[in-house]
Each structure stands twice: as C-alpha cells, then as structure tokens.
Chains A and B, each alone.
Chain A
Amino acid sequence: MSLRTLLTATSLVLSMAGAATAQQTLVYCSEGSPEGFDPALYTSGTTFDASSHPIYNRLVEFKTGTTEVIPGLAESWEASEDGKEYTFHLRPGVKFHTTDYFTPSRDFNADDVIFSFMRQADPENPYHTVSGGTWEYFNAMSMPDLIESIEKVDDMTVKFVLTRPEAPFIANLAMDFASIHSAEYADAMAEAGTPEMMNQQPIGTGPFEFVAYQKDAVIRYAANPDYWKEGLPKVDNLVFAITPDNSVRYQKLQAGECHVMPYPNPADIQAMKDSDDINVMEQEGLNVGYLAYNTQMAPFDNPAVRRALNMAIDKAAIIDVVFQGSGQAAKNPIPPTMWSYNDAIEDDPYDPEAARAMLEEAGVTDLSMKIWAMPVQRPYNPNARRMAELLQEDFSKIGVTVEIVSYEWGEYLERSKDLDRDGAVLLGWTGDNGDPDNFLAVLLGCDAVGGSNRAQWCHEPFDDLVQQAKIVSDPAERTRLYEEAQVIFKDQAPWATIAHSVVFMPMRPEVEGYVMHPLGGHIFTEVGLAE
C-alpha cells in the first residue's frame, strides 16, 4: 500500500510540474535511433525523420501530403530549352539556426548551396570524407554522372549544368540528401578541427533547432524562432521518444506519454480505431510488392504464360493473410499516391479456370517453378515466406508445382540479379523521390536488366516511352507517357503486381494538422496541439 501511495504522490508532483510549463511540446514516439543528423550520409527513413524534416530545408520541397514539388529555399527556378541547365533564384532573408554551439553571421546564400552539393560530388572537397562520407543516395540517384557543374551566378542565384536532359532531376533536389547546410558552420568546424560535429550538432534553416540527443533514448528540438515560413512551426518543442517496440509505442500513446506514433502492429489497429483516446489516419505507402518472373527464361519469356499465372493469384487472400488488412491489391507497378498513376487500367481477374486454359493454349503443361521468398520483413511485404506459400497454393490449383527458396538477404539481392536466375522473385520497392521514373525506369528499364530489373525485362515500346519521359520537362506530357507505359506493362506482365502497403498513423485526439506524407516521412512543421 505504501508503494502505491508513493507512486500516486510522485505522479501528482509530475503532473503539477507539467502544468507549470505552459509551452507546447509535441512528443513523437519514434521507432528507432537516427544514425546521425546529416541526411546525406544515410539512407534510412528513421534518420531522415530526425534530421532532414525538422532541421533542414532543400532548394525545392515536396508539398506535404503529395509528391508534387514546390519552392523551398529557392523561390523559383527555370530550365533551359535543351533541358540541361537549371537556374535557381534563392529566397532572401533565410536565417540559419542560432544555438549555444553556433551563431551565424550571415543569411543563407549561394555558397551554402554549392557547399552542400560539392562536398558530395567533389572528392577533393575537404568535407568529402568527413564522417566516412559514402553519399549513398547522391550516388544511387546517379548525381555524379548527371551534374556537370554547379555555378554561382550571384549571391542569390545558382545554376546547375547537367550532362543530359533529365526531368526527374528537380524531384531529386527535393530528396533528403539534397538538404542545405551552412557553409559558414562547416568552415568554423573545420577550423576548430571537429568537422564531424556537423553530423552530431546540426545547423540548418528548418522549422526546428536541434537541442540534444541521448542515444537510443530521446531527441529534443526547439522551434526555430526565425523560421522563414510565417507562423510555423506550431509547437514550441518537439521531442522524439525513441521506442523500438510497436506494442510499447501503443501503450505509451494510450497512456498519453506520446502524441503520435508510427508503424503500429497491424493486429492492434482495430482496437486503436475503437478507442476514444486514439485517432488513426491511413494512406497507401509509396511502394509496391511484386513477383518478378525471369522473362528471359522459357516458358516465362511468353507474356501469355505470365498473364495466366497472374490470373491464378488470389490477391484478396494475400491482403488478408499476409498484410492482415494493412495492404491494398496492386494493379500497376507504381502506387496510387503517385502522379500519373493510371487508374483506368483493369486488374487481372482472379480466375484459375481461365488461367489453366491459357496455360494449355500456350502449350505449357506440368510446369514446375521456383519462387524466391525474401528472408526479411519489408513494408511492401511483411511476410514473404507466407506470401510464397499462398502463391504455391494458388499455382497448384492450375497445375503448376512451386518450390520455395530463400537466401540470406544480401545474397538474395545479389543472386536475384542473375540473368539466368531460376525462378520468380518476390521483392518490392519504396519510392525515393515521388517521380514515376524512379519506379518505371529503375525497376523495368532496359538499362537495369541484370541489376534492379529483376524481371530481366527489356521491352522496347515500354522503354522508349520511359526514356522519352525523362527528357520532356512538361508535367502533362510526362503524365501521358507514363500512363501509356503502364498500359504496356499490364499487357506484357513482366511482374505479378501484388500489393501496396497501407500505412497507419495513430495519434492522440488533441493532435491537429498532421498530414500523412506519401514519401513516408513524418513531418511536424504544421502540427499543433489543441488546448
């Protein structure tokens, strides 16, 4: 009994202390620790949530809730006729954070833009190797081949010269790795002999200033009083309470120890929806889970065989069993939240009888094949083994025998690239920059055969459209080209498109203005708390 009295007394003291602080603090129960605070060094969403979204801005940004690109630190930009030069006009009067470890002497200008990119591009740049820089995303988005030079036209104008016209380039600049850092801070740290501090005590222009990080426990931010967007951010303090276990996050949310949590356990979602203390938002993730046939191996080189197999797949059962409801059947290779998604396309009907007939017509009998099941859990496929078993069952109904194989993840990724790979591969993709090119060219283009094109599928009419869409900069024209490419994809069926995940965001009812972002980031700039 005395313990209980003690506990009640303690919590009373705690709540009184809470009432004394009138400042609004938003607590986000994040799922893991950031690897650092310089987003260009890393590739994980957890790190981006803690760094690029609160602390930094980019020249252009994604409008929260869409994949549309809007002005950020650049007020406007224009492309040259040949599509190889982009000129950005920078926003005047933007201030870098003033903290107890750095006080900027000047506003944001062209030097900061050039520094932020050149440290990644130029091996001679003194910051190129700081913090073991490998600049994964900068390389993965082919920026070294694409950018010929970056020129300072004047203090507030920067020109990017490209080696070839590339329309998705603008979307790349809205990505996390393109966050703008303070060149002045970098110089100060280099002079002090502690260049790695840029990654540990970050300075940016974003809505929140970094205050403190206790590894694996908590990250604290304070609102940036000089933020260039009027009236934002809405809360005074932002706290990330790092809570790796999803059931525990749920308990914390329920107990009011945090306001927002990501990645709930699918099994808990119904209870959350039923609770008065929790609101649940949902949206399709920017991803696709697929089964890629090896289109260079008989009989999978015949589109009719691939279509027949696709018709044998009971997607509804997969959504139910593998995704436990937190998925949506996919009919296109790009997710529905992406611009140019062709909703007019009809999905293959689930019809095992017709599928069996089609196989016979194609002269395929007694087919036996392998299906590769990934050894890891991914948003686009929470349980590949189970999915493979369901496919095995589906295919057995049309007389196809399936053997399920798996390898260690690194091995899996490597071996599945082989041109003479035996079997169809379960895999998927999460979008990087919200541009359809990032799915259609990267996963299905002729250049990617033997690499990320796991179907080993090179189909000229499709590839021509996708290549053309890279060059045109008019969004309406690009949309048309991508819509047409999706029609060809459906007809040729190099993959069975299986599912897009559905992402759930549970939060307390007092949270106002939270918008789910299709690119997966968790952004709190415009989030407030009701009194």
Chain B
Amino acid sequence: MLRYFLSRLLTFVPTFLGVTLISFAFIRVLPGDPIIAMAGERGVTPERYAELQEQFGFDRPLIVQFWDYFTGVLQGDLGQSFVTRKPVWDEFFTLFPATLELSTCAIILAVVLGLPAGVIAATHRGKLFDRLLMSSALVGYSMPIFWWALLLIIVFSGNLGWTPVSGRIDLLYYFPNVTGFMLIDSLLSGQSGAFGSAVKHLILPSIVLATIPLAVIARQTRSAMLEVLSEDYIRTARAKGLAPARVNGLHALRNAMIPVVTVIGLMVGTLLAGAILTETIFSWPGIGKWMVDSIFRRDYPVVQGGLLLVAVMVMVVNLIVDLLYGLINPKIRKR
C-alpha cells in the first residue's frame, strides 16, 4: 500500500509544475492590460503607465516574472492582489472555508441521495421509478444553475418564506470568525438561534450546488450497477439463495463503486466550477466569486494563485480517490 501511495505521490511533481506554468500563462494569454483595465475611461498617461508597470513588475521579461513567481510559490508566497493589496494566500484562506463548507454539504447531499437512487433504479430497471429518476437526472444535469437557483429563491424564500434569500447567516448574529466554517462558529458563539440560522442559509445553495453531481452520481451508479448485476457471480449468488439486499448491497454495489468513486472525485472539480455561479447568486463569500472578479480586473496574482491552489486541491482529491480504489479493490494496490 505504501509503495502504491508513493508512486501516486510522485506523479504529483510534474503535474504541479505544469499547473504552476499554466496558471501563470493563462491570465497573460488573455488580451487586456491590467493597468488600462484599472484606469477605465479615465485613461492613463504614458509616464504614469511606465511608472505603474515598474511598480507591478510588468516591465521585466516574462521569464523573470515567472521565475520570481515560481520561487515565491515554493516558499509559500503567492504575491499580493493588485486590487486589495493583501497577500493572495490570506485572501484565499479567509474565503475558502465558505466554499469548503458549501461544497461539502453539497457533495454529501449528492452522495447520500444519488447512490441509493442509482441502486434502486438499477434494481428496478425499466419500472416507473427508474424512468422517473433517469428523466429527472437528465433535467437536473442540463438545467442552467442560475435559473434553478433563482427559481428556488422565488418559491421558497419569496413566496413561501421558508428559507432566507441569501448570505451565510442572519445579520442579527455577529460573532468573530474562529474557524471560518459558519456551522462551527455559530455553535461556538453560544448565541441561541445562530446555528439554526446558519443551517437555514445553507439549504438552498447546497441543493443548487448538489444538483448536477446528484444527477451524475445517480446515473453513474445505475449504469455501473446494471453492468455488475448482469455478471455471472451475481446470478450464482442469487441462485444460492442469498437475500436480495445482500446480493445488491455487498456483492454488486462494492464492485460497482469503482467508477462511481471516480465520478465523485471528478465532481469535486465540477463543484468548484458550479460554486462560481452558486456563490454569486447566494452572495456566498467563497473563492468562486473572488476568482471571477479577479479575472475581470486582470488581477494576475489572484488569478494565478487561486488557480494554483484550486488545482492542487483537485489533485489532492484525486490522489485520495486513487487511494480509495486501493481500498475498494485490492487488485489495484498490488499492481
């Protein structure tokens, strides 16, 4: 297992190098100059432009800029935002807990609902539930997120008044940021009702963010299960009189899990992309919105730093997924 882990870890190095380079190049390939974007209609004189170029270090050759960035990254320094003048690292870690909290709730929701739904659909193949589920999964997968979010807000917050419209907690509650996770901080604050408010605020954004992963997981589980259910050993298990729950749960599901776990791992990337829209609509102070804003402002350090951190996270999740394969299927770790 250790060798397997180490070999997986080794693939990290070239990927990390590549990601650093791509994140640096990405924003610079886009047309548009941050200084001119900052000045807008008001414009900037050539002398002032030269001054600002020097101040931001754009007057140096690209390769030198990259080397500075890269050595900075290795020392944990991602530079400073052009706009807020705060270290990218600080900004990221102020905002990231909000994204993590929301994404975690969403992925839990997607797995908890998606796995059983897929299993039931597979075992009831062609029946009404299966058809209903598969068509709603298709709708869920293809629905525009912003439209879905607004629809839920209008119905549940506007008309029914069950959930708050947006934000992370009612403005009534005010307590210091300890962990950055509102569910935990609200409990720590000891203010009555704070935790409930935080939960209420999480409901709609989690549903919206979970929608696509839920649909994908349900469909993937169903097809993986169907494949396994047609295997000989399942027929054998059934023939020897095992209870259907045992056949489906132990023999079929475990073998169907490999592709499902892969999909869940890949979904983490999708979640972060979905978080951009979800966060904007629900005024959720996470990294999705932060990165989009910085692309429009051509805030190079934030874009490259944010991209790098997100990419590293996706890599870590995929590493975990690889390790999970090993746990689920012992054949893999012996390879």
Contact A251 B157 (CB under 8 A): yes
Tell me the complex Cα distance, A410–B284, Å: 30
Quick check: is B36 within 8 A (CB to CB) of the other chain?
A: yes
Residue of A10, A139, A216, A255 near B157 (CB, 8 A) is A255
Contact flags B83-119 to A (C-beta < 8 A → 1, else 0)? 1110000010011001000000000000000000000
Q: Which of A103-111, A242-250, A516-524 is the interface stretch?
A: A242-250
The answer on a CB contact under 8 Å between B285 and A216 is: yes
Instruction: Contact check, B80 vs A132: say whether CB atoms are below 8 A apart.
Output: yes
A-side interface residues, number (CB < 8 Å): 58
A20-60 CB mask vs B (1 if < 8 Å, else 0) is 01000101000010011000010100000000000000000
Say yes or no: A247-B150 contact (C-beta < 8 A), given A134-B55, A217-B168, A411-B32: yes
List of B residues within 8 angstroms of A252 by Cβ:
165-166
The residue that B40 contacts in the complex, of A408, A411, A413, A417, with Cβ under 8 A, is A413
A245 near B41 with CB under 8 A, answer no
Given known A132-B82, A196-B85, A255-B158, contact A10–B197 (CB-CB < 8 A)? yes
Is B283 a contact of A242 with CB atoms below 8 Å?
A: yes
- Tell me the residues in window 170-210 of chain B with beta carbons closer than 8 Å to chain A beta carbons: 170-172, 174, 177, 192-193, 196-197, 199-200
Task: Please determine whether B95 and A216 come into contact, CB atoms closer than 8 angstroms.
Answer: yes
Q: A239 to B284, alpha carbons, bound, how many Å?
A: 16
Residues of chain B within 8 A (CB-CB) of A245 are 166, 280-281, 283
C-alpha spacing A104/B70, complex, angstroms = 44
B164 at the A/B interface (Cβ < 8 Å)? yes
Q: Is the CB of B85 within 8 A of A199?
A: yes
Q: Does A510 contact B (CB under 8 A)?
A: no
Chain A residues in 8 Å Cβ range of B326? none
Q: Digitize A396-436: 1 where CB-to-B-CB distance is under 8 Å, 0 elsewhere.
A: 00000000000011110110010000000001111000000
Q: How far is the CB of B63 from chain A (nearest CB, A)?
A: 23
Residue pair A408, B41 in contact (C-beta under 8 Å) = no
- Give the Cβ gap from A22 to chain B, nearest Cβ, in Å: 13
Binds B, one of A11-19, A228-236, A480-488: A11-19
Q: Which of B36, B197, B282 contacts A14 (CB 8 A)?
A: B197
Report the number of A-B residue pairs with Cβ-Cβ less than 8 Å. 144
Residue in B154, B163, B177 whose beta carbon sits within 8 Å of that of A7 in the complex: B163
A17-B193 in contact given A7-B200, A132-B55 (Cβ < 8 Å): yes
CB of A214 within 8 Å of the partner chain: yes
- State whether the Cβ of A212 lies closer than 8 Å to any Cβ in chain B: yes
Chain A hits for B80, CB < 8 A: 132
Is A455 located at the chain interface by the 8 A CB criterion? no
Cα distance A13–B283 in the bound complex, in angstroms: 24
B77 CB–A CB distance under 8 Å: no
| Contact across chains for A248 and B172 when beta carbons are under 8 A apart | no
Q: How far is the CA of A212 from the CA of B283 in the complex (A)?
A: 18
A263 vs chain B, min Cβ distance (A): 14
Measured between beta carbons, the chain A residues less than 8 angstroms from B161 are 11, 255
- Would B285 and A217 count as touching, CB distance under 8 A? yes
Q: Do residues A248 and B83 form an inter-chain contact, with CB atoms below 8 A?
A: no
Kindly state the separation between the CA atoms of A241 and B165 in the bound complex, as whole angstroms: 12
B128-187 with Cβ < 8 A to chain A = 150, 153-154, 157-158, 161-168, 170-172, 174, 177
Could you tell me the distance between the alpha carbons of A243 and B283 in the complex, rounded to whole angstroms?
5
Shortest Cβ distance from A30 into B: residue: B283
B312 at the interface (CB under 8 A from A): no
Hey, what's the 0/1 contact readout for B322-334 against A, CB within 8 Å counting as 1?
0000000000000
Q: Which residue of B lies closest to A211 (CB)?
A: B174
Select from chain A the residue with minimum beta-carbon distance to B31: A408
- Report the separation of the CA atoms of residues A245 and B283 in the bound assembly, to the nearest whole angstrom: 7
Distance in angstroms between the alpha carbons of A254 and B41 in the assembled complex? 35
Picked from B36, B85, B284, the residue with its CB within 8 Å of the CB of A132 is B85
Indicate if A257 sits at the interface (CB-CB under 8 A): yes
Chain A interface residues (CB < 8 Å from chain B): 4, 6-7, 10-11, 13-14, 17-18, 21, 25, 27, 32, 35-36, 41, 43, 131-132, 134, 136, 139-140, 196, 199, 212, 214-218, 220, 239, 241-245, 247-248, 251-252, 254-255, 257, 408-411, 413-414, 417, 427-430, 451-452
* 12 pairs of residues in contact across A and B, judged by CB atoms under 8 Å: A21-B172, A35-B84, A41-B85, A216-B285, A242-B285, A244-B280, A245-B280, A245-B281, A247-B150, A255-B164, A408-B32, A410-B33
